[in-house]
Structure 1
């Protein structure tokens, strides 16, 4: 499991991004379960995620952050990254971010993809 913490902080909300291999829905569920074993992630406001399975079937979960899973999914499709789940975690800071929350999700996924492409990371 690869994790990047403190990727973005805006108006009290904090974002992190995690990811790892997941070829099936069961593996996605196992990944999410493992992530949430860490109390910090279990207590997060949102753990939004998406994956393109090996056969190209898209799966996503908004976890209460409507539309965020689709943002992640579209980025995975553009990269043609399959069998790899990405989870963007948000801890709500008390102020609504409006449309900025989607930009933050995109920035988290971009940071993750950049880190994934860095073999020294």
Structure 2
């Protein structure tokens, strides 16, 4: 599991991104369960994720409407199969409007750059 914390801060909201190898919905649930063992992530406002697997694309907005699709599209563009990416947001008290999608995209970009650099 790769976790990159404190990557974006905007109007009090803070973001992190994490990911790892994942082949199925069961593995995605296990990944999230492992992530939630870190109390900080269990208490986050949103843990939005997507997975592009051989069976079918999977995504979950976790209350951040449309964010799962943003992650999924980026996985498709990269042709990154069998890998889950989770964008975590701690709400800071002010609504971000459309900026939240830019932040999700940027978080995924940061993750992908880190993944390709290693």
Q: Check whether TM > 0.5.
A: yes
Report the equivalent of 1:78.
77
- How much does 1:24 deviate? 1.1
| Structure 1: runs of 5+ lacking an equivalent | none
1:33 maps to which residue?
33
Deviations 1:32-87 (A, max 9, x none): 0000111000000000000001x161000000000000000000000000000000
Q: Which runs of 4+ in 1 moved over 4 A?
A: none
TM-score by length of 2: 0.99
Distance (Å, rounded) in 1 between the aligned partners of 2:55 and 2:112: 18
TM-score by length of 1: 0.96
Residues matched between the structures, number: 118
**Separation (CA, whole Å) in 2 of partners of 1:35 and 1:78:** 25
Corresponding position: 1:64 with 2:86: no
Q: Paired residue for 1:49?
A: 49
Q: How many Å separate the matches in 2 of 1:24 and 1:67?
A: 21
Contact 1:56 1:82 in 2 (8 A): no
Structure 2: unaligned runs, 5 residues or longer: none
Map Cα deviations across residues 59-117 of structure 1 (whole Å, 9 max, x no partner): 00000000000000000000000000000000000000000000000000000000000
Cα RMSD of the aligned pairs, angstroms, is: 0.6
